[in-house]
Structure 1
Amino acid sequence: MIEIGSYNNLNFKRKTYDGVILTDGEREVLLPAKELISYEEDQEEFFVFVYLNKDENLVATLERPFACVGDFAYLTVVGENEKGVFVDIGIDKDVFVPAREQKRPMFKGDKHVVYVYLDERSGKITASSYLDEYVDVEVGDLEEGDEVSLLICERSELGYSAIINNRYIGLLYHNEVYEELEIGEEKQGFIKKIRENKKIDLSLRPIGFDFILESKDVLLEIIKKNGGVLKLGDKSDPEEIKQQLKMSKKAFKQVIGGLYKQRLITISDFEIRLVEQTGE
């Protein structure tokens, strides 16, 4: 069965003036002539993206869209009319976002994170910025500590909302983010906490002991690159630590405490120094 808005493996049926007719055995799809630059005469199978054109005919493309049906993506508004706007998904046919599916008004030139779906009435690829309505609520396959892919989708007073693994939604709290984030940015993150109400707290750093181990190696490398001295210490300002190392002062003190116990550094109020190793 041909899936509109997705990739399909289709078979060659015949060649026409307009292009190549492909089929799944039941329905036919046109692969336009302009797509056949690298077409081989004996090619029997094509891996194509399928959509409905303005005349509601099935059309295939060898181009790779920015998003398929079922994906969340950061897309640009390229047109508008009285009923809604159109976003670019990287193929000849733009995707419609009806006015009723806009969480806030969209205008040409804007970029928004949207969910791409197939409209049941028209059969056309459509998009919505009401992301909460399209994420999974049940999070049975997620566990605290899991590494996940994130798509930053919204900024609020609490922090940044992010789409998790193209399926769920979670929150990165402002006071735990130590770098500038942009809407539409893709990051690797971690599941910090799954609450009883199924809300998900996120982190950009590994959770717990793994974070300390990783950060110790990173901090040692930074000190070495600074000639064995780092102008941060026990009494350094938290903002200065955040700017230089992208971590909280609490995490910083845990890391340097571990390095001190290993006798790898000395610590003063505003400075850390590598201990010269002997017997190497």
Structure 2
Amino acid sequence: MSVGLPIGELVTAPVVSEADQGLYLRVAGEDVLLPGRLVPEGARVGDVLRVFVHTDSEDRPVLTTEEPAALLGEFALLEVVDLSEHGAFLDWGLDKDLFAPFGEQVRKLAVGDRMVFRVCLDERTGRLFAASRLAPHFDYDVSAVRAGDEVELLVYGQNEIGALVVVDGRHTGLVYRNEAFRPLRVGDALTGWVKQVREDNKLDIRLQRSGRAAIDDAEEVILEALRAGGGWLALHDKSPPEQIRAELRMSKKAFKRALGGLYKARRVALEEGGVRLLD
């Protein structure tokens, strides 16, 4: 492997020469080939192109103008498209599939399986590979994380109490099933908030904000449902919690609290069988 090349990353690089097989771009002091079939129409020496750096089937550095589903160190939902005696091949948006060796698989894979993988680098060979065995790849230093922080989530699994999530592309967290108020599936990307930083350096995550912000959010959900229903919502304080959760994705407690705020503000009227919008 060429030392210093940013394998697995997107870079902008100048075209420095042309050849029969394509264009050569200067990347980290080295001239690296962009194959002709991937050269943008009209590109020539002196242009600056945005390219992804990886390796070909012979482990030589090569460039592509295609963008993968994930860069080095990132997590993404990928599909198994082929198998070999050594592992599985994944579609990640490039002509060359990404390889997931058996030793990096959390379970045996089959063609058509879709799982969250992390893109990793074999420092010895310079090859990119995928791992679905994610635990060794999380960052367990959560000293900078605080309760209440807004975070980006990617669901990567389920256990008996909730959904396992990648937090901000680095940490691992858990959304408790009884606090989700919606189905969570592997590969779902969503926004959440840190509920608690645990002693084991994992994070408990909620999908709703807390305090006054949570009430404001719940009020807006109710108002949107009212507008979508032509000013009428067939829910009230005696409605079953399951119905409220199914229609509004919130707990009955949150619904009653937000509804009370809207009623006091004279934005809704409480009528038999439901709520009417007054705005």
Both proteins in one fold, TM over 0.5: yes
Matched, 1:271 2:274: yes
The equivalent residue for 1:189 is: 192
Q: Matches of 2:220 and 2:47 in 1, distance apart?
A: 53
Q: Matches of 2:11 and 2:229 in 1, distance apart?
A: 54
- What SS does structure 1 have at the residue aligned with 2:221? helix
Q: Matches of 1:113 and 1:151 in 2, distance apart?
A: 9
Query: Deviation of residue 270 (structure 1)?
Result: 4.6
Q: Matches of 1:89 and 1:229 in 2, distance apart?
A: 45
Matched residues, percent identical? 37
Query: TM-score scaled to structure 1, two decimals?
Result: 0.91
Deviation digits for residues 163-206 of structure 1 (CA, Å, limit 9, x no counterpart): 11111111111111122222111112221221233221112222
CA spacing shift, 1:273–1:45, aligned 2, 3 Å: closer
| Aligned with 1:174 (options 172, 177, 195) | 177
Q: Matches of 1:61 and 1:103 in 2, distance apart?
A: 30
Moved more, 141-150 or 219-228: 219-228
Q: Say if 2:155 and 2:163, in contact at 8 Å, map to a contact too.
A: yes
Alignment of 1:78-89 (within 5 A): 78-89=81-92
- What SS does structure 1 have at the residue aligned with 2:255? helix
Q: Matches of 1:261 and 1:26 in 2, distance apart?
A: 67
CA spacing shift, 1:238–1:123, aligned 2, 3 Å: same
Q: Matches of 1:225 and 1:15 in 2, distance apart?
A: 58
The equivalent residue for 1:211 is: 214
- What amino acid does structure 1 have at the position aligned with 2:221? V
Matched, 1:222 2:225: yes
Deviation digits for residues 76-112 of structure 1 (CA, Å, limit 9, x no counterpart): 1111111111111111211111101100111111111
Question: Runs of 4 or more off by more than 6 Å in structure 1?
Answer: none
Which ranges of structure 2 fall in alignment gaps of 5 or more residues?
Answer: none
Query: Deviation of residue 269 (structure 1)?
Result: 7.5
The equivalent residue for 1:199 is: 202
Q: Aligned pairs, how many? A: 276
Alignment of 1:1-280 (within 5 A): 1-24=4-27, 26-267=29-270, 270-274=273-277
Q: Say if 1:235 and 1:270, in contact at 8 Å, map to a contact too.
A: no
Which ranges of structure 1 fall in alignment gaps of 5 or more residues?
Answer: none
Query: Deviation of residue 43 (structure 1)?
Result: 3.2
CA spacing shift, 1:26–1:42, aligned 2, 3 Å: closer
Deviation digits for residues 125-144 of structure 1 (CA, Å, limit 9, x no counterpart): 01111112111111133222
Moved more, 16-25 or 206-215: 16-25
CA spacing shift, 1:85–1:235, aligned 2, 3 Å: same
Query: TM-score scaled to structure 2, two decimals?
Result: 0.91
- What SS does structure 1 have at the residue aligned with 2:256? helix
Query: Deviation of residue 25 (structure 1)?
Result: 6.0
CA spacing shift, 1:227–1:36, aligned 2, 3 Å: closer
Q: Matches of 2:157 and 2:223 in 1, distance apart?
A: 35
Deviation digits for residues 219-273 of structure 1 (CA, Å, limit 9, x no counterpart): 1343354354432222211101111111111111111222233344444685334
Q: Matches of 1:169 and 1:269 in 2, distance apart?
A: 46
Moved more, 216-225 or 244-253: 216-225
Query: Deviation of residue 32 (structure 1)?
Result: 0.5
Moved more, 1-10 or 66-75: 1-10
Moved more, 68-77 or 29-38: 29-38
Q: Matches of 2:15 and 2:230 in 1, distance apart?
A: 65
